[in-house]
Every structure is written in structure tokens, then in C-alpha cells.
Structure 1
């Protein structure tokens, strides 16, 4: 019996249904918000996007912090 590896779920769908059980990458953030990855890096450089942290040379995003950032953006637009 051969096993096929299932494709990774779409991070946008995972976040909508609940928080993913892993840290997110810049690619995940770009895909979730439908922006180029370079935009994600510019947000980080300008301190305007979701907070990220370094793991060696890689940037990771805590899904809880991303959700909090989204809520802040929504509240700022409503004000």
C-alpha cells in the first residue's frame, strides 16, 4: 500500500479556521495578504506589518501576533 503525501493546507484558510500550529514564514504572510514577499520585508523594515522574529537567518511570525496585528488594523480603519 503506497502512501501519498498530502499537500500543505493554504495558510490563509488555516488562519481563518483557527490559528495554525506552526510559525509562519514571509511566504505565508505574503500569500495570506495577497502581497508580494518584498512588501512583507518592507513592512518589517518599516515596522508597519505584523511583528516577526529571527530564527537564525530566517524570519518567522507567531500566528497569534499576526491575528492581533490584523485586529489592530481593522480597529484603526474603523476609527
Structure 2
């Protein structure tokens, strides 16, 4: 089962953050793939808080938007 997103109140941040596991579940890919993307500077922008890696929803959506196929005529 997926963990709830970390709330902005918990971390004093202006948006919703998601874990590596949540991102992997969103795309139906292995967690290791998300870590590989991060090492290769692929995938959504990430941030590290302490030892944990998080993804802002705005960065996830921006990355998805940038990967859309162009509209067919």
C-alpha cells in the first residue's frame, strides 16, 4: 500500500512532497529505476531532506508535461 504524501505542515513547505516509492508506484516501475533516473539526472527534479529523497508534485507534473508527445494534426 502507498504511503501518504508528506504534508506541507509536516515540513514547513509550500507544496506536497512524494517519496521515491510513491513516484515508482505512480508509474508502475521498480523503485531502483527511480534511483537510476536520479543518478543519471533524468526524471522529475528531486530534493533531499536529510537522508530522504522527495519529489514535489509541481516538478512531477512539469516533467510529465515535458514528456508528452506532440499533438497529431
TM over 0.5: yes
SS in 2 for 1:78: coil
- Structure 1: unaligned runs, 5 residues or longer: 1-6, 12-20
Query: Which residue matches 1:78?
Result: 70
- Larger helix proportion, structure 1 or 2? 1
- Runs of 4 or more, structure 1, over 6 Å off, are 7-11
Change (3 A) 1:9 1:58: closer
Instruction: Give structure 2 stretches of 5+ with no counterpart.
Output: 6-14
Distance 1:50 1:62 in 2: 9
Larger strand percent: 2
SS in 1 for 2:53: strand
Root-mean-square deviation (CA, aligned residues, Å) is: 2.4
Q: Give the total of aligned pairs.
A: 62
